[in-house]
Chain A
Amino acid sequence: AQTVTQSQPEMSVQEAETVTLSCTYDTSESNYYLFWYKQPPSRQMILVIRQEAYKQQNATENRFSVNFQKAAKSFSLKISDSQLGDTAMYFCAFRNQGGKLIFGQGTELSVKP
């Protein structure tokens, strides 16, 4: 079975600091997509960043970047210069070749002033 594991239920970071959220996954597929989604208190799911498994280069989106280690099946999210608006639930997700999006348990991030 394909699984996604986020081992950090909660994390906190000071404003302007950097924080890394961990994610590991398990699959036997070679082609797939990985995502980080943010869910603020409004509960709207917001795509943060996306990585294609066949690309070796780590994806970046402004203050957000990933460390994708395919052999280790690890996909961590780094948030630089953390802002109060980054406070939210963060979900790591894996999209398999069948199209299903499978989510990890989530990490609740609090950015403190």
Chain B
Amino acid sequence: GAVVSQHPSRVICKSGTSVKIECRSLDFQATTMFWYRQFPKQSLMLMATSNEGSKATYEQGVEKDKFLINHASLTLSTLTVTSAHPEDSSFYICSAGGTTNEKLFFGSGTQLSVL
């Protein structure tokens, strides 16, 4: 099956710094990528949808200035958590797919811990 690579798998940073998470589709072109956030023992919450070459669409309640998403190519999307605070600590997962009738493939996730 298709492979989505997500890096880093774990990051610890100081409060106030910015962290970038990368999501790459290794063997297919992903016209759309999705970013999710997951708290322990909870479901995946969709944060935003990124389409190659255009601005990301954010879900209600997600701060676009805090969570910057860039989808500059058909194989790479990045999520930057700016001026991170302890409440941003969470598990972030990306997924990638093509058209709506195709499966979505998930990255392995990034555990962000903000001290």
Contacts and interface: CB of A to CB of B under 8 A. Distances in A.
Interface residues of A, number: 23
Interface in A78-95: 91, 95
Contacts, number: 47
A96 B46 CA distance: 13
A42 B6 CA distance: 14
Given A43-B109, A96-B100, 11 more contacts: A42-B108, A44-B109, A45-B93, A45-B95, A91-B44, A99-B49, A101-B34, A101-B95, A105-B42, A106-B43, A108-B41
Interface of A: 33, 35, 42-45, 47, 50, 52, 91, 95-106, 108
Contacts of A33: 100-101
B58 interface: no
Most buried by A among B32, B38, B44: B44
Given A43-B91, A52-B101, A95-B100, A100 B46 contact: yes
Interface residues of B, number: 21
A99 B100 contact: yes
B57 to A, nearest CB: 9
Contacts of A101: 34, 46, 95, 104
B103 interface: yes
Contacts of B67: none
Contact of B43 (A42, A97, A98, A104): A104
Contacts of B38: 43
A98 B100 contact: yes
B100 A44 contact: no
Contacts of B41: 108
A33 B102 CA distance: 9
Contacts of A44: 106, 108-109
